[in-house]
Amino acid sequence: KKLGFAIVGLGKFAQEQMMPAFKDCKYARITALVSGSPDKAKKLAAEYGVDAKNIYNYRNFDSIKDNPAVDVVYIVLPVGLHAEYTIRAAKAGKHVLCEKPMANTEKDCQQMIDACQKAGKKLMIAYRAQYEPFNLEAIARIRKGELGKVMQITADHGRIVDPTGDQADTWRVQKKLAGGGSLMDLGIYSLNAARYLTGEEPVEVTALEMSDQADPRFKEVEDRIHFTLRFPSGILATCTSSYSTEGVKRYRVFGQKAWLDLDPATDYYEHKMVIGDKDGQQQPKIKEGNQFAAELDHMAECVLQNKTPKTPGEEGLKDIRLIMAIYEAARTGKKVKV
Q: Which residues are catalytic?
A: 100, 189
Q: Which of 23, 26, 36, 308 binds ligand NAD (CB under 6 A)?
A: 36
Q: Residue 100 interacts with ligand NAD (CB under 6 A)? A: yes
Piece of 5-13, 87-95, 110-118, 146-154 that binds ligand NAD (CB under 6 A): 5-13
- 265 contacts ligand NAD (rule: CB under 6 A): no
The residue from 10, 103, 193, 253 that contacts ligand NAD (CB under 6 A) is 10
Can you spell out the DSSP letters for 172-207? GG-HHHHSSSHIIIIIHHHHHHHHHHHTS---EEEE
Verify binding: residue 77, ligand NAD, rule CB under 6 A: yes
- Binding segment for ligand NAD among 77-85, 88-96, 208-216, 252-260 (CB under 6 A)? 77-85
Rule CB under 6 A: say whether 309 interacts with ligand NAD. no
Contact residue for ligand NAD among 27, 50, 85, 99 (CB under 6 A): 99
Q: Shortest CA distance to 260 belongs to which of 183, 186, 159, 151?
A: 151
Q: Confirm or reject binding of residue 188 to ligand NAD (CB under 6 A).
A: no
Residue 102 near residue 77, CB atoms below 8 Å: no
282 Cβ contact list (under 8 Å, min separation 6): 274, 275, 276
> CA-CA distance, 75 to 91, in Å (whole number)?
15
158 binds ligand NAD (CB under 6 A): no
Which residues lie near ligand NAD (CB under 6 A)?
9-14, 36, 76-79, 81, 99-100, 126, 128, 168, 171, 177
